[in-house]
Amino acid sequence: MDFDLAYLMAQGPALMRGLWLTIQVSLLSIVLSVLVGLLGAAVRVLEVPVLDRVVAAYVEFIRNTPMLAQLFFIFYGLPGIGLKLSLFWSGVLCLTLWAGAYQIENLRGGLATVGKGLREAASALGLTPWRFFHLVAAPLAIRVALPAMLNTAISLLKNSSYLQAIGLAELTYVAIDRISMDFRTLEMFAAICVIYLALVLVLSFLASRLEFRLNAPFRH
């Protein structure tokens, strides 16, 4: 079967609509997962009673179960207890919870590099544990953990393709839908591979610029 560029160009609008939905769900999930990571890492590092164990159990559950099973539980299982979410928000919740567990561990590793001397200095200045985390520990931890956080964000972006399993019309769903009707497998999968590669490269570039800015005070 010959590669039909004209066919691919004709499917451009549909692919762009799927791409836009992929970008929306991925960016929102990345931001929310970082917030989950910060909060969860703070709870673990500060050893908040009860919550510490809850966060640890959440991380273990997410890391040791398939994401597809988590997605089906959220979309098909939660309505059984009266919590029905739309396709979009089911996807966002699944990706956020999945990536959030890994971001907790990424940031917890970054926080482990914060020296004991800084904690003692913060205590001497009268900072509460939460203010120490917010003003001192978190900024330093993010700078150290940024490469690992980027890897998790990239994995989240690629894993957004799983959302086609519940019918969310993101990029992969659009490609598979067109294949089922037109049987142009080569064009569709080539297109989404190139698009995902471009998305990952853009995300990596933005993260490298952020890392450059965060490291600016330490280069002199």
Single-letter code of the amino acid located at 189: F
Q: What's the mean pLDDT when you consider all of the chain?
A: 88
Widest CA span in the chain: 73
Report the C-alpha gap between 21 and 208 in whole angstroms: 24
Would the pLDDT of 19 be above 80?
A: yes
So what's the pLDDT on residue 220?
Answer: 58
More confident residue, 116 or 154: 154
Report the C-alpha gap between 172 and 164 in whole angstroms: 6
So what's the pLDDT on residue 115?
Answer: 67
More confident residue, 209 or 61: 61
Count structural domains, the chain. Answer: 1
**pLDDT band at residue 218 using 50, 70 and 90 as cut-offs:** low
Burial of 218 (0-12, 13-18, 19+ CB in 10 A): exposed
> Which residues span the domain enclosing 62?
5-218
So what's the pLDDT on residue 172?
Answer: 93
Question: What end-to-end distance do the CA atoms of the chain give, in Å?
Answer: 58
Would the pLDDT of 120 be above 80?
A: no
Would the pLDDT of 69 be above 90?
A: yes
- pTM summary value: 0.88
So what's the pLDDT on residue 174?
Answer: 92
180-217 pLDDT tens trace: 888 888 889 999 999 999 999 998 888 888 777 766 66
Report the C-alpha gap between 129 and 137 in whole angstroms: 10
So what's the pLDDT on residue 72?
Answer: 95
More confident residue, 137 or 81: 81
Residue from 148, 122, 147, 126 nearest 135 by CA: 122
Report the C-alpha gap between 35 and 9 in whole angstroms: 39
So what's the pLDDT on residue 126?
Answer: 74
Give the distance from CA 29 to its chain's centroid: 5
The answer to whether 37 touches 145, Cβ cutoff 8 Å, is no
Report the C-alpha gap between 25 and 19 in whole angstroms: 10
Least confident of 101-110, 159-168, 201-210: 201-210
Residue from 38, 35, 32 nearest 110 by CA: 38
For residue 131, the domain's CATH number is 1.10.3720.10
DSSP letter assigned to residue 169: -
